Structure 1
Amino acid sequence: MTPALLVSVAALIFTVASFWWLQARRGKLIMSSIPAFSGYVATDRRLGVRLPILLYNTGARTRLVDELRLVFPPWDDGHAQWQTFHPTLKPESGDGDTADFAGPYPIDGRRAVMRFVKFTYAFGPVLPEPVETLCRVEARLDGSSAWTVVGSFTLYLGHMAYPDRFITYRNSVVPCDGEPESTYSTWSDLAATRGLDAPWRDGKGPIVGGREGTIV
């Protein structure tokens, strides 16, 4: 192979590789952290959680998000299905909190898309324990029936001091100012009121203070 031909072949390989990298490469979806969430325990024995799901497409090709689900590995059959999209994370009363049914959406290459997604989990007769709970977000992508993990995080259910109200909470080890260190008392009372089993009940300290919210 002559030097001129070698240079031509190298240039062609570089051109094709550059085109693939810039225009055709399929990337991964990466989920950002979850700094806050909104949650409540509904009267129909469902846990409702609204999350800010920000997904970034690392590749050049558009990826299609067909469906999302929230998985709780510590819980039996712990799959929370997506239900609705919302304009904000914080629930609003009246028409300010309009919802749309969750559905497929695209994420263009090297772009990020935010969706405020409400998930619901049917927990049955046993109320979940209000503690740090490992979660992961899974997605069906590009028409596939397989589920792909796009992110994992810890959901601080223990911050839900008023589980019968749809309220926004900080999702971190340290609760917001004014929030109690333990919410076992409130959750235990809720279990007793609604006839739910709470095997984790231990009667930890009382809940103090008040907070407005939408009763659900």
Structure 2
Amino acid sequence: MTATDQAASSSLTGAGVVSVCALLFTVASFWWLNARQGRLKTWEPHAFAAIIRSSTARLRLPLVLHNTGPKPIVVQDLILTFPDEPASHLPLLWVSSPSRLQPGPDEDAKLPAGFVVPGREAQQLVIEFEAPFSGLMPEARDYKVQLQARVGHRKGWRRLLTFTLRAANIIDPDRYTVYNNAPVELTKEDQKKSGCRAPRAAGRARRQLRSGRQEAAEFFERRWRRRHGPLRQHPPADRVPEASTRSRLLRVRPTCGLVLAGPLGGAVPDHRAGVAGGCLRRRRWSTRRC
């Protein structure tokens, strides 16, 4: 084979690879844009309507179903279950498709029927679920609820959404009305206000305590000066008498350490000491704490 033939065969091989890659890209793009099967997505509802009695339990949810693929999806049936509850709690079945969330006598309720969610589109629906003698009695707590669907291109039930049903908001189970299902969240301003209350209260209490101690110390110092003249030195801070001793001395809250230890261990005012802060037990000076 000559050099010219080799060059021609190599160019043909390169052109074939490029052609095959272009064909694969075209087929894959067509499948992704037109023939790909998507899935249904939905989100947690912010409100619900409920009536729960001993004979029946009815729940109405506003749902938004979104098809992520280009092919339409046929929804055949929906069901609502409580996976964390006992087996005695029957699932709630799809019984109607009302036109609004708020129940009323003049509403137009449709019987359950399959519907189509077009490709790359979202559809808003209000679905009403009901179960006779379901065994569900609401308590003031959160329930884990699972929404399942049966679609045309799959077999069996498929889980669409798992969300929290806040049954504590159901204040009147015998009345069929709308309740809020959104979690209560504080704004940044509310969190800042609530977070500053405790430090502010603690700071105010500390300031009041320091003010009371200072007033008691000034009162004790004035009393001492009237009786014995000026003080030679200030009492050390580590010789502050206990609360019961201070109460017996002045019936206030003094913090000065100018006390004496009497013969029986009781604290009495120092009428003979020339140096503040001393303690006398059996007429002997001691450096112990009062």
Q: Same fold (TM over 0.5)?
A: yes
SS in 2 for 1:16: helix
Match of 2:92 among 53, 61, 80: 80
Range with bigger deviation, 76-85 or 100-109: 76-85
Match of 2:36 among 25, 29, 37: 25
Match of 1:120 among 130, 143, 153: 130
Distance change (3 Å), C-alpha of 1:100 and 1:11: same
Q: Does 1:3 align with 2:14?
A: yes
Q: Are the equivalent residues in 2 in contact too, given 1:71–1:78 (CA < 8 A)?
A: yes
Q: Are the equivalent residues in 2 in contact too, given 1:66–1:143 (CA < 8 A)?
A: no
Distance 1:53 1:23 in 2: 26
Q: Aligned Cα RMSD in Å? A: 1.9
List structure 1 segments (4+ residues) > 3 angstroms apart after TM superposition: 122-126
Structure 2: gaps of 5 or more residues: 1-11, 186-290
Q: How far did 1:112 drift?
A: 0.8
Q: Are the equivalent residues in 1 in contact too, given 2:67–2:119 (CA < 8 A)?
A: yes
Distance 1:83 1:114 in 2: 17
Range with bigger deviation, 118-127 or 28-37: 118-127
1:26-65 paired onto structure 2 within 5 Å? 26-42=37-53, 45-65=55-75
TM-score, scaled to structure 1: 0.74
Distance 2:172 2:100 in 1: 20
Q: How far did 1:126 drift?
A: 6.3
Q: How far did 1:22 drift?
A: 0.5
Q: Which residue of 2 aligns with 1:213?
A: none
Structure 1: gaps of 5 or more residues: 176-216
Distance 1:144 1:110 in 2: 19
1:1-216 paired onto structure 2 within 5 Å? 2-42=13-53, 45-75=55-85, 76=87, 77-92=89-104, 94-95=105-106, 97-124=107-134, 127-142=137-152, 144-174=154-184
Partner amino acid, structure 2, of 1:3: G
SS in 1 for 2:148: strand
Q: How far did 1:163 drift?
A: 1.0
Structure with greater Cα Rg: 2
Range with bigger deviation, 62-71 or 140-149: 140-149
Partner amino acid, structure 2, of 1:157: A
User: CA-to-partner distance for each residue in 1:170-205, whole Å, 9 max, x for gaps?
Assistant: 102339xxxxxxxxxxxxxxxxxxxxxxxxxxxxxx
Query: What is the total number of aligned residue pairs between the two structures?
Result: 172
Higher fraction of helix:
2
Higher fraction of strand:
1
TM-score, scaled to structure 2: 0.56
Partner amino acid, structure 2, of 1:87: S
Distance change (3 Å), C-alpha of 1:6 and 1:159: same
